[in-house]
Amino acid sequence: MGVFLFISIVFFSNSNAQEKKEQLWLIGTEVVKPALVDQYLEINKEMLALCNETGFPFDFQLWTSGDFRYYLWYPVNSMQDQQTIEAAWEKVVEKYGYEKYRKFEECIDYNMEQFAVIKFDLSYLPANQRSSLENSHYARWSLMYLKKGKEKEMETLNSKIKTLADAAAFPDAKYVGYGRTGFENPVFMVWSFGKSVKDFWTQDDKFYEILKPEKKEIDALFGQCVRKTEDRDMWWLKNLSYTK
């Protein structure tokens, strides 16, 4: 059995981030057959009830990008934790019933697994955050695929942006990290959040107003480091998420 994939993303508060330099994540993506989305979500609900009943040992939160893709991010200590997670799901599936679980498997077109790391020293974490992540139901996951060997230059650019955001007391966090396995590496990542899509873009406009005085230099540095970009819109399915 492969990892039972939703998406979990449980980011840390500022105090947690100060204590820990980085957090490794196992990322799962399941691409669901359009005709079977309702069935997929209903079985997820049943499996979640079993997680609560049995005390599943890993937190997860389900997110979707709205294109029949569902994501699960597990906070892990090492890549070896992937095997422990699979074993834990095997026990849940056994309790659920293998015959019933086939209905879940038939929903999936294909899946994949990746690892990424959030680096708190690169992230922007305001002292007074405008909204808690608990109230942030939308996320923007930005992937910047770097030219080979441009990691340090990208970090320098990120530091410049952080300085501008800090000087303006921008109230929303931006978590920064790298892809580790399963990506076209090197890839620099930024996660930003909003209470809704509209809320996110309102704040994003304010953020880029902060950068305007340095826009020409920032754009030039960005072009020197980045070969292509990709953005993913993500919506949190709170009722199908789990905290042990």
Q: Are residues 77 and 177 in the same domain?
A: no
Q: Are residues 130 and 196 in the same domain?
A: yes
* CATH code at position 26: 3.30.70.100
Q: What are the strands, taking DSSP E only, across the chain?
A: 22-32, 60-64, 69-76, 108-119, 138-146, 174-181, 187-194, 226-242
Q: Determine the pLDDT at residue 1.
A: 32
Q: Determine the pLDDT at residue 62.
A: 86
3 located within any domain: no
Q: Look at residue 201 and give its three-state secondary structure.
A: helix
Q: Are residues 97 and 125 in the same domain?
A: no
65 located within any domain: yes
Q: How far apart are CA 48 and CA 53, in angstroms?
A: 9
User: Please, how many CA atoms are within 13 Å of residue 226, restricted to the half-sphere of its CB?
Assistant: 20
- In this structure, is the dihedral angle defined by the CA atoms of residues 146, 150, 154 and 157, taken in order, positive or negative? negative
8 located within any domain: no
Q: Are residues 27 and 70 in the same domain?
A: yes
Q: Determine the pLDDT at residue 158.
A: 97
Q: What is the DSSP string of 106-123?
A: TTEEEEEEEEEEEETTTS
Q: Determine the pLDDT at residue 8.
A: 33
Q: How far apart are CA 71 and CA 5, in angstroms?
A: 6
Q: Are residues 198 and 224 in the same domain?
A: yes
Q: Are residues 144 and 102 in the same domain?
A: no
Q: Are residues 140 and 213 in the same domain?
A: yes
Tell me which amino acid residue 2 is. G
Q: Are residues 164 and 142 in the same domain?
A: yes
- What tokens appear for 121 in the block? 């020293």
Q: How many domains is the chain partitioned into structurally? A: 2
Identify the CA nearest to 72 among candidates 110, 25, 29, 11: 29
Q: Determine the pLDDT at residue 15.
A: 42
Q: Determine the pLDDT at residue 12.
A: 42
Q: Are residues 90 and 180 in the same domain?
A: no
Q: Are residues 136 and 108 in the same domain?
A: no
164 located within any domain: yes
9 located within any domain: no
In tens, the pLDDT along 83-130 reads: 999 999 999 999 999 999 999 999 999 999 999 999 999 999 998 888
Q: Are residues 82 and 47 in the same domain?
A: yes
129 located within any domain: yes
Q: Are residues 113 and 125 in the same domain?
A: no
200 located within any domain: yes
146 located within any domain: yes
Model pTM score: 0.86
Domain hosting 96: range is: 14-117+236-242
Tell me which amino acid residue 103 is. K
Q: Which residues of the chain have pLDDT under 70?
A: 1-19, 132-133
Contact 56, 88 (CB under 8 A): yes
